[in-house]
Amino acid sequence: MAIIPFDRLEGSIWLNGALVPWGDAKVHVLTHGLHYGSSVFEGERVYGGRIFKMAEHGERLVNSCRIMGMTCPYSAQELNRAAEETVRANGITSGYLRRVVWRGSEMMGVAAQANRINVAMASWIWPSYFAPEALEKGLKLTIADWRRPAPDCAPTQAKASGLYMICTLSKHAAENAGYNDALMLDYRGRVAEATGANIFFVRDGALHTPTPDCFLDGITRRTVMELAARRGIEVIERVILPDELEGFEQCFLTGSASEVSPVSEIGPYRFDVGALTKQLRSDYMAEAQGSVTVAVAVAG
C-alpha cells in the first residue's frame, strides 16, 4: 500500500486564525521552532465526531505555552472552538487532532523574544497507534538507554516537542531490535513511562503507576484512574523500581493515541493480557465513545 505523506493529504488546516487548504499550511525553513525546539503540541482523538477531553487538552496546551515562555495568542476557549472547526471542516468522525504552537522566523538565534507565536491544527482519520495483532497479544517493550530528564534539566510538565528527541531515539532503537516500544526510566533509575504513553501495572487486583514528577501526568492516565476508582479498584501512585517488574501480573500503557494498550513483555519480564486490563480498555473505549455504564466490580 502506498503511503501518502502527511503534507500531501487533503483537507483544511487551521493556521493562525483561519482554515487554509492542507497543502498551503507551510512554515519557512528558518523557523525557530524547527531549529531550537520552541514548540508545544497536543494529540487528541475524535470519537463519534467529538474531541475526547478537549477542554483538558486545550488547558494543557495553554499551560505548555506558559511553561515555555510563549504567550499563546488565543485563549483555551478560542483554541477549543478552532479545534472543533478543524475536525468539522475535515469531516472527521473517528480520527485524530493535532494542535501545535511554535515560535516563528522573525529572529534566528537562541533568543527569539520578538518571534510570532504561531498556532496550527490538523485532523485526520487514524485507526490504531499499535497494530491490532500487537494489541491482542500485548506489546513487547525493551528498556530504553535514554532516561526521562530531571525537572530542573528540562520543562518536563510541558508537552514540548524537544522532549521527544529521546523518545524518537528510544522508539527507533526498540523497533530496530524487534520491539513495539520502550520503557523509559527516569534520571534516578525509576520506572517512568513509554515513549509516548504512561504505564500501569496490576498486582493482586490493584493498579500501580509511577508518580508523574518528571513526565506528563497524562489525560488518559487520569481518566483510567477515575474509571478504576468507579469500579472500586485500588490505584497506587508511587515510586516503582525496575526490579519490581518481576512481581507484576499485568501491564498496560495509556495515552490519547494509544488509548489503553496491553503489554506482554518488558525486557526479561512477562505479563498476562488479563481480565482487569481488558476491562479497563473496554471501559475506556466506552467512556471515549460516550456510553459508559459501570456498576459491577471485576477481579484482576
Q: Which helix (H) or strand (E) holds 279?
A: helix 275-288
Task: Select 118 or 223, whichever has its Cβ closest to ligand PMP.
Answer: 223
Q: Is the dihedral of CA 39, 45, 50, 55 positive or negative?
A: negative
Least distance CB 1 / ligand PMP (angstroms): 26
Alpha-carbon gap, residue 273 to 48, rounded angstroms: 27
Q: Is 191 helix (H, G, I), strand (E, B) or coil?
A: strand
What residue is closest to ligand PMP based on CB?
Answer: 218
Task: Select 19 or 227, whichever has its Cβ closest to ligand PMP.
Answer: 227
Among all residues, which ones are annotated catalytic? 159
Binding status of residue 115 toward ligand PMP by CB under 6 A: no
Task: Let me know if 217 is exposed, middle or buried by CB neighbors in 10 A (0-12, 13-18, 19+).
Answer: middle
Task: Select 19 or 42, whichever has its Cβ closest to ligand PMP.
Answer: 42
Interface residues for ligand PMP in 39-58 (CB under 6 A)? 43
Task: Select 245 or 253, whichever has its Cβ closest to ligand PMP.
Answer: 253
Nearest 5°: the CA angle 208, 138, 183 is 55
81 Cβ contact list (under 8 Å, min separation 6)? none
Interface residues for ligand PMP in 238-297 (CB under 6 A)? 254-256
Interface residues for ligand PMP in 167-226 (CB under 6 A)? 167, 193, 196-198, 215-216, 218-221
Footprint on this chain of ligand PMP (rule: CB under 6 A): 43, 167, 193, 196-198, 215-216, 218-221, 254-256
